[in-house]
Amino acid sequence: MPQCGRCKPNDLECVYPVRVKRRSARPLIDPALSADGSNAALSTILDRLQRLEAQTAAGSSSTNGQSIPTPSGDGSEVSSSPVAFSTTGHESSALTPHNSDREMDAMTVLKDAVDQVQELRKRSFGSTAITSSIDIPTDLAKTWVANYFQHMPACMFLGLLDRRIIDLIPDIINLPHIHVDPVILVIYYSIMYHGCSLKASNVASTSSLGYMNSSYLGCLRAVPSWEREASGTMTDLIAALFTSRVAAEFFDYDLAWKMFKHACEYCQTLNLHKLDSDENNTFFSEAKCDNERRGFWEVIQIDLFYRLILNTPPVITNDIWKVNLPWLDPDSDPLPQGMQTIAFLASSRVSLVIARFFAMLDDPENTTKPEIVAKTEDLCREMQQIFAEWQLMEWLEGAQDNEQDIWVVADVILTGYTSIIYMFRKMALLNSTSPRPPTTDLDIPDSPIVEDAARRLIAALNRLLILALIWQILKHLNG
C-alpha cells in the first residue's frame, strides 16, 4: 500500500477511507430495463408512458379507453406495449394490475418509433455518402429514365426542362473527360430514384431498394457542389423541388425543408409569384404560362403541407403572390381531360381548404378552442365532399394498370386525408408556445371525421398494396 509524504517519515501506515459508491439522486425507472445502455431508449419510452398513464388516470372520468391486455399466468397473452416486458426475460417492475381506465398513449409510442427510424436512416446515409460506390448498369438507367417520363405524373416544372439532356446522361456519366453539371446530376439521380421503383421497370423489390438507395446517394453527393453554383435558374428550381421530395421520402426532413426553402427563393428570383400581376412584364406563351402556373400551385401545396405536417413557418405563402390557376385565362389552351387534370383540380381545392384553415387559426376573432374545433370540422367536411364529388376513392378501387393515373390520384387521397388528421392535431398546439410540443392522445379532439379519414387512409394504402401484388403476379406470369 503506498504511503503519503506525512506518514512515511513517521513510519506510520496510511489509512485510506472506504470508498462508498455514490447513489444516483434519481431512482431507476425499472432495474431490468435500465441494466445496460442498449435499453436507454426503452427506459425513456417507459418513463413517458408512466407519466402519461398518470394523466390518463387523473382524467379517467372522461375516458372510456379500450383495455390493454396484460401477461397472464401461462404467458398466452402479452401486452401490446413495446416496453411492457424486460429484454432480460425477468418480469418488469413497471407492470401493474390492469386498470380499465388506463390506456396506452399510441401517439407517443408511434412518434418515438418514427423518430428512431428517421435517425437510423440519416445515420446510415451519413456513412455511405463517403464509403459506398454508385454502380447502376447503363441499360437499366436508360430504361428507368424512359419509364419515369412515361409513367410518372408530370409535375413541378419538369416539362420546362429539355428531356434530351436527361436521356443522354446514362451514356456519358462514366466517360472520362466528361463533366456533368451538379444541378443536372441532382435531377438525374432523382429521376432514377423514382424510375427504378415503378412497376414498369420490372425490378425485384430487393434490387429496387438497393438501386433507390444508390440513386439517393448520388443525389446527396451532387447537392453540395450544386448549391455552390446555384444562381436561381429554372433548372435550380427543379433540382431543389426534386431533392426536397426525395429527402422527405427518406425521412430527412431537415434536408427536405432546406431544399424547399431554396425552391421558394428561386421562385421569387424567377418572378413566378407574379405571373398574373401587372408588375410582370416578361412575355411567355400561354402554354408555357399555364405550365408555370401549375408548377407554382404545386409549390403552394407543398408549402401548406409542410406547414401542416412539420410545423414549419410559411415561405412562399407568407409573401404576396398573384398566380391564377392554369387554364382560366381566355387565351389558354383547352382544359386537358383525364385523371391528371381531375387530380390537379382536386388537390388545388384541398390546398385552398388548408389555406383557409390557417387563416382561421390566425384570425384573432377565433378565441375559444370549441369555436376553432367546430370550424375545423366544417372545413374537414368540405374536404370530404371534394373526394365524394370527384369519386377518387371509387376510381382507385376500380383502377388496374394505369400507373401514372394511379399514383397521382393516390397522392391526392393520401395528402387530403392526412391533412384532415393533422388539422385536428393542430388543436393540441393552440395553447402552446413551442413549435413542436409533445402531443398525446388526450390532446387531440375526438371526432368521427378523424376516424373516417384514418380508415380511408388505410383503405387507400391497402388498395396500393393489392395493386403492387397484382403487378408482381403479372410480372411472374409474363416471365
Mean pLDDT is lowest, of 56-60, 214-218, 466-470, for 56-60
Residue 37 lies in a domain: no
| 416 close to 383: Cβ distance less than 8 angstroms | yes
Distance of alpha carbon 179 from its chain centroid, rounded? 33
More confident residue, 184 or 292: 184
Q: Based on the domain organization, do 248 and 396 belong to the same domain?
A: no
Q: Based on the domain organization, do 280 and 354 belong to the same domain?
A: no
Q: Based on the domain organization, do 228 and 354 belong to the same domain?
A: no
Degrees (nearest 5) of the Cα angle 303, 189, 168? Answer: 125
Q: Based on the domain organization, do 258 and 358 belong to the same domain?
A: no
Domain membership of residue 461 as a residue range: 341-479
Q: Based on the domain organization, do 349 and 443 belong to the same domain?
A: yes
Task: Provide the b/e sequence for 341-350 (b: ≥16 CB within 10 Å).
Answer: ebbbbbbbbb
Q: Based on the domain organization, do 355 and 263 belong to the same domain?
A: no
Closest CA to 323 of 365, 284, 375: 284
Amino acid 251: pLDDT = 86
Residue 412 lies in a domain: yes
Long-range CB contact pairs, 120-129, < 8 A, 24+:
121/250, 121/251, 121/252, 122/251, 122/252, 125/213, 125/216, 125/217, 125/220, 125/250, 125/252, 128/213, 128/217, 129/217, 129/220, 129/221
Render pLDDT for 204-228 as a digit per residue (tens, 0 to 9). 556 667 888 889 999 999 999 999 9
Domain final residue pick, 242, 273, 300:
300
Amino acid 380: pLDDT = 94
Q: Based on the domain organization, do 379 and 451 belong to the same domain?
A: yes
CB burial class (10 A; 0-12, 13-18, 19+) of residue 158?
buried
Residue 475 lies in a domain: yes
Four-residue CA torsion sign, 205, 210, 213, 215:
negative
When pLDDT is cut at 50, 70 and 90, the band that residue 117 belongs to is confident
Q: Which cell numbers hold the place of 43?
A: 427506459
Residue 20 lies in a domain: no
Count structural domains, the chain: 2
Q: Is the pLDDT of residue 250 over 70?
A: yes
Q: Based on the domain organization, do 263 and 360 belong to the same domain?
A: no
Mean pLDDT is lowest, of 47-56, 101-110, 290-299, for 47-56
Q: Based on the domain organization, do 285 and 357 belong to the same domain?
A: no
Q: Based on the domain organization, do 375 and 287 belong to the same domain?
A: no
pTM of the model: 0.72
Q: Based on the domain organization, do 141 and 268 belong to the same domain?
A: yes
Amino acid 5: pLDDT = 63
Residue 227 lies in a domain: yes
More confident residue, 265 or 280: 265
Q: Based on the domain organization, do 224 and 347 belong to the same domain?
A: no
Residue 68 lies in a domain: no
Closest CA to 108 of 168, 56, 30, 158: 56
Residue 321 lies in a domain: no
Q: Is the pLDDT of residue 458 over 90?
A: yes
